[in-house]
Amino acid sequence: MNAALALGDDALVLSHRLGEWAGHAPVLEEEVALANIALDLLGQARLLLSFVGDEDQLAYLREERAFRNVQLVEQPNGDFAHTIARQLYFSVYQHLLYEELAAGEGEFADLAAKAVKEVAYHRDHAEQWVLRLGDGTTESHERMQLALDALWRFSGELFEPVEGVDIDFNTLRDSWLAAVTSVVDRATLALPSGPQSGAWAAGAGRQGLHTEPFGRMLAEMQHLHRSHPGASW
Amino acid sequence: MAAVTADQTTQGTAGTADEAEAERLAAFDHAVAADDRIEPRDWMPDAYRASLIRQMAQHAHSEIIGMQPEANWISRAPSLRRKAILMAKVQDEAGHGLYLYSAAETLGTSREELLDKLHAGRQRYSSIFNYPTLTWADVGAIGWLVDGAAITNQVPLCRCSYGPYARAMVRICKEESFHQRQGYELLLALSRGTPAQHEMAQDAVNRWWWPSLMMFGPPDDASAHSAQSMAWKIKRHSNDELRRRFVDICVPQAQALGLALPDPDIRWNEELGQHDYGEIDWTEFQEVLKGNGPCNEQRLTQRRTAHEKGAWVREAAAAYADKHAARPGTAGAAAQPVEATA
């Protein structure tokens, strides 16, 4: 598996999901923040995909089975709490991963060094909202807990080793768990207790096995590009 | 003023108050005449304040509702570069809305109050955003024509008599010009692309041209607020003057794009040194303003729904801020919502 493709697809797909919030956010400041994060991720995706080939060919002309993103990032937005839970799990992972990569000498060191600042902001944004929703009203507390629980089973996949990414994924898992536990505690929420992956889901996204909503997302994303073969935009 | 003199003779105190009022009005008129800026703490006539709130609120609402027709294409943008540009643009619009609500708040209203009025249909937004984006080329037509019309309208507002509004416009116009160039460039790529792309671009221009001309408002002889706004130097030019300026700008741009403007009556008028153009369908304009445009219902419903579905999130943030402000030793927590934990 190509590491740039895996990391690039993560960023591309999550960026797309966040872009779906435009015009629907709960408050204007979140219109700005969610679009900002989506743009950062899209920028990372474009760099990573261009390590592999033509960014548009890769984004628009691959079918579902050829995408290498984790299943977590393709999950539908749900309510704001689901979006924030997804963002917490992913941005803590991405922040820890990029810090490691930036400190190393691998092919992603430069990219990670630049992206780590953006990702630190994404992580802070997610953590601050988990605190507010968890420790806000009874309703927001319940919604935040439901969202953390619902997405928990996609979190294990984040720590399946990615070939070509030269870090210890077990250490990454420990750091991630410590960070997420700390935020969840402070937010007066409970760490979800179920398995971190389904019976056959661990690493599935990285192998091109996705969840059902993903195909529909790609249909929308790719439709126009595919309708005009060879055109430039 | 006769009335003032009469008051002075009969009621000493009231007369002094009226005199003071007349002095303040004279100072205000003098400041406007001298092209000084009126600032939030300065005295201003109630009608000036009300007129500015109306105009700035409508402007802010237009930025917010205006996100919808373009956001409609974010998930389908045909290249990653175009997708990034479009997302950045929609993000800028939310930012412009925020500047403008802040500027309006200096006049003693609040964002919540203005949004409530928008949601209740008691304040307007630009009629243009009641038209649908049916193809990708519409994103380009909006950038070129709609943002182009907005800039033509807004550049003179950078010299508006009310300081906070003028300063917001300086910032907004810079970003709008950038969007306008990007929209033009998008259409140029389509116009020079495949025959299907060219056709898509022409179709979009056909549908957006007349609604863009309507953005300048009713003709001068039917414009309710124009004369007073111009006297107060909120507005600097009449609707028809700005509209004609816009046509003059667009004609050569359309030629350079290789796209036709859908008006057989456009021609250069040698004598006047400007373009003549065809009659605008004012019935359609009135219908859209009344709420009967193609997307009025949809736009307002989406805005209301986003607001209502977000209520629990805003309540959570407020409850959290209250809890953390109430704790002893965390006096600054409400003003500084970022927790100080390492």
Say whether residue A142 is in contact with chain B using an 8 A CB cutoff.
Answer: no
- How many CB atoms are located within 10 Å of the residue A160 CB? 17
> Rounded CA gap, A227 and B171, in Å?
38
Q: What pLDDT is recorded for position B7?
A: 43
- pLDDT below 70 — which residues of chain B? 1-14, 327-342
Q: Which residues pair with B162 in a beta bridge?
A: B38
Q: Does B319 touch chain A (CB under 8 A)?
A: yes
Phi, psi torsion values for B275, nearest 5 degrees: -90, 140
For residue range A6-23, list pLDDT tens digits in order. 999 999 999 999 999 999
| Model confidence pLDDT, tens digit, residues A189-203 | 999 998 887 655 656
Which of A21, A28, A61, A80 is the best mutation test for B, with the most CBs of B within 10 A? A28
pLDDT for B337 equals 47
Binary contact (B94, A35; C-beta < 8 A): yes
Question: Under a CB-based contact definition with an 8 Å cutoff, are residues B78 and A233 in contact?
Answer: yes
Q: Say how far apart CA B237 and CA B257 lie, in whole Å.
A: 28
Strand partners, B275: B268
Contact B246, B191 (CB under 8 A): no
What phi, psi does A23 have (nearest 5°)? 90, 0
Reported ipTM exceeds the 0.90 cut: yes
Residues sharing a CB contact under 8 Å with residue A87, sequence separation 6 or more, in sequence order: A37, A122, A125, A126, A129
Residue A87 C-alpha, separation from nearest chain B C-alpha, in angstroms: 16
A139 close to B (CB below 8 A): yes
CB-based contact (8 Å) between A39 and chain B? Answer: yes
Strand blocks (E) in B20-179: none
Cα separation of B336 and B80, whole Å?
37
User: For B89-126, what is the HEC assignment?
Assistant: HHHHHHHHHHHHHHHHHCCCCCHHHHHHHHHCCCCCCC
Instruction: Locate the DSSP E strands across chain B.
Output: 267-269, 274-276
Torsion region of B72: left, alpha or beta (phi above 0 gives left; psi -120 to 50 gives alpha): alpha
| CA-closest candidate to residue A223, choices B77, B277, B188 | B77
d(CA B179, CA B92): 9
How far off is chain B from A75, nearest CA to CA, in Å?
A: 15
The whole-angstrom separation of Cα A139 and Cα A71 is 27
Largest CA distance in chain A: 53
Q: Is the dihedral of CA B221, B222, B228, B232 positive or negative?
A: negative
Tokens of A156: 């294990």
Note the pLDDT of residue A198: 65
Give the tens place of pLDDT for each residue, A90-108.
999 999 999 999 999 888 9
Number of C-beta neighbours around residue B42 at 10 A: 14
Q: What is the pLDDT of residue B93?
A: 97
Strands (E) in chain A, as ranges, are: none
* CB-based burial, B301-337: b 16+ in 10 Å, e otherwise: ebbeebbeebebbbebbebbbeebeeeeeeeebeeee
Instruction: Give the model confidence (pLDDT) of A48-88 as tens digits.
Output: 999 999 999 999 999 999 999 999 999 999 999 999 999 99
* CB pair distance less than 8 Å for B91 and A36: yes
Determine, for residues A20 and B74 on separate chains, whether the beta-carbon distance falls below 8 Å.
yes
Task: Please give the pLDDT value at position B336.
Answer: 47
